[in-house]
């Protein structure tokens, strides 16, 4: 459902071909992510990588440092003594570098009204919003911090490290970490089910949620209440879903195309080879994208404009999905949500 350059620190070592490789800050972030996730599979999802790509990257880092950083067994991934040493240093270095960047940003760009720093989870709006902002404000820098964690994005907005949060949440909730921020819905979409093209329900325009009882589910990582909302919807439909397999977005799509799982998706999902989106009768689950900002921060002055551009970006996506556009025409209440003073909510 959760549709996913910093200079290096010199630490030379040979790679597989005897060439020197420098240890970079991104490598330290990778090591920390693996340690915190406790498994390569979960760390790959956090980092937005395929698991084999992360494994190859870790092997290069270990060759650079001259030894294994993690033990890998049936219980997961645990750091070696060398890994403990590197992790201890990384957890000092990374916050220090981040603090340096924030101090430089505060000193050089104290007036941030001319820039747009957006934190975005997976969804249909972010890319189009960046394009429209860049076109409307060509002299203003636009940057995006992409992650699966809405709570992380909210924390960055509250800490003034981002200007806007563009995140998804179950309708009508807002992110758990969104205290003190103003939220305005950009769109409300139904949750559909993505199945393989040979699935028994692939030929149907819609199906009841109960028709998927017994299916193997796959899901990308995310925070918030969606898992609980999904379980509740299944209970109302008369069944308990199997524990989902948690993988990165690409892995989920591969499983669906292979006929090994089904995945919940937004109605705006694009057409992809080997998979088909099936609407759920009665739309028992609804997902909305929200734009959030600090009402006391500089971003508040441009928030209505940014929201309007986000809505336009969403409408651009809908225009490219004829089937979904037809569905919206027959189901009022879904789709784009124009900004209104009454519609703005503060948690």
Determine whether domain 112-347 maps to CATH 3.40.190.290. yes
The Cα 160–Cα 105 span in angstroms is: 11
CB 148 within 8 A of CB 43: no
Residue 323, pLDDT score: 95
Residue 313 predicted with pLDDT over 90: yes
Instruction: Check residues 182 and 49 and name the one with the higher pLDDT.
Output: 182
Which residues make up the CATH 1.10.10.10 domain(s) of the chain? 13-105
Give the chain's end-to-end CA distance (angstroms, integer): 24
d(CA 152, CA 166): 12
Query: What would the two tokens of residue 106 be?
Result: 């505060």
Kindly report, residue by residue over 136-164, the tens digit of the pLDDT. 988 889 999 988 888 899 999 998 899 99
Q: Give me the pLDDT at residue 341, please.
A: 57
Which tens digit of pLDDT belongs to each residue from 96-142?
888 777 766 555 544 455 689 999 998 889 999 999 999 998 888 99
Q: Taking the domain 13-105, which CATH number applies?
A: 1.10.10.10
Q: Please classify residue 239 by burial: count the beta carbons closer than 10 Å to its beta carbon, then call 0-12 exposed, 13-18 middle and 19+ buried.
A: middle
Residue with the two structure tokens 């970079």:
24
Residue 291 has pLDDT above 80, yes or no: yes
pTM to 2 decimals? 0.68
CB 221 within 8 A of CB 165: no
Count of Cβ atoms closer than 10 Å to residue 155 Cβ? 16
Residue 245 has pLDDT above 80, yes or no: yes
- pLDDT average, residue stretch 322-329: 96
Q: Which residue has the higher pLDDT, 342 or 277?
A: 277
pLDDT digits (tens, 9 = 90+) for 2-60: 432 212 222 333 333 333 446 788 889 899 999 998 888 888 887 777 788 888 889 88
For residues 301 and 299, give the distance between their C-alpha atoms in angstroms, rounded to a whole number.
5
Task: Give the pLDDT of residue 49.
Answer: 76
State the pLDDT at residue 5: 22
Mean pLDDT computed over 267-271: 91
Residue 346 has pLDDT above 60, yes or no: no
User: In this structure, are residues 9 and 24 in contact, taking their beta carbons and an 8 Å threshold?
Assistant: yes
- pLDDT by residue (tens digit) across 186-230? 999 999 999 999 999 999 999 999 999 999 998 887 777 788 889
pLDDT at 290 exceeding the cut of 90: yes
List the one residue out of 284, 118, 115 whose CA is nearest residue 186: 118
Confidence label for 340 from pLDDT (cuts 50, 70 and 90): low
Distance of alpha carbon 281 from alpha carbon 46, whole angstroms:
32
Position 343 scores a pLDDT of 47
| DSSP string computed for 225-269 | SHHHHHHHHHHHTT--PPPPEE--HHHHHHHHHTTS-EEEEETTP
The pLDDT of residue 114: 67
Q: What is the pLDDT of residue 72?
A: 82
- Please, where in the chain does CATH 3.40.190.290 lie? 112-347
Question: Helix, strand or coil for residue 48?
Answer: coil
Q: Which residues pair with 291 in a beta bridge?
A: 166, 184
């Amino acid at each position: 459902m959760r549709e996913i350059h910093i200079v290096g620190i010199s630490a030379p070592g040979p790679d597989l071909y005897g060439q020197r490789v420098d240890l970079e800050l991104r490598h330290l972030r990778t090591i920390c992510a693996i340690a915190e996730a406790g498994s390569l599979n979960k760390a790959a999802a956090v980092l937005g990588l395929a698991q084999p790509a992360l494994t190859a990257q870790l092997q290069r880092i270990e060759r650079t440092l001259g030894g294994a950083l993690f033990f890998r067994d049936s219980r997961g991934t645990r750091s070696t003594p060398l890994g403990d040493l590197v992790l201890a240093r990384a957890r000092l270095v990374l916050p220090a570098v981040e603090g340096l960047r924030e101090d430089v940003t505060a000193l050089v760009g104290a007036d941030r009204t001319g820039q747009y720093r957006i934190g975005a989870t997976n969804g249909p709006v972010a890319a189009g919003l960046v394009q429209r902002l860049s076109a409307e404000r060509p002299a203003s820098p636009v940057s995006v911090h992409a992650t699966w964690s809405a709570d992380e994005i909210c924390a960055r907005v509250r800490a003034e490290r981002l200007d806007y949060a563009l995140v998804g949440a179950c309708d009508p909730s807002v992110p758990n970490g969104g205290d003190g921020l103003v939220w305005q819905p950009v769109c409300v979409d139904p949750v559909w089910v993505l199945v393989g093209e040979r699935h028994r329900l692939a030929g149907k325009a819609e199906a009841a949620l109960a028709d998927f009882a017994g299916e193997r589910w796959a899901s990308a990582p995310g925070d918030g209440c969606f898992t609980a909302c999904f379980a509740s919807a299944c209970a109302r439909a008369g069944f308990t879903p199997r524990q989902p397999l948690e993988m990165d977005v690409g892995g989920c799509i591969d499983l669906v195309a292979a006929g090994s799982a089904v995945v919940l998706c937004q109605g705006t999902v694009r057409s992809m080879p080997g998979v088909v989106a099936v609407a759920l009768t009665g739309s028992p689950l609804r997902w909305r994208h929200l734009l959030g900002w600090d009402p006391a921060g500089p971003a508040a002055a441009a928030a209505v404009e940014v929201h309007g551009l986000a809505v336009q970006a969403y409408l651009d996506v809908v225009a490219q999905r004829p089937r979904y556009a037809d569905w919206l025409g027959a189901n009022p209440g879904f789709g784009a949500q124009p900004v209104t003073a009454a519609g703005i909510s503060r948690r």
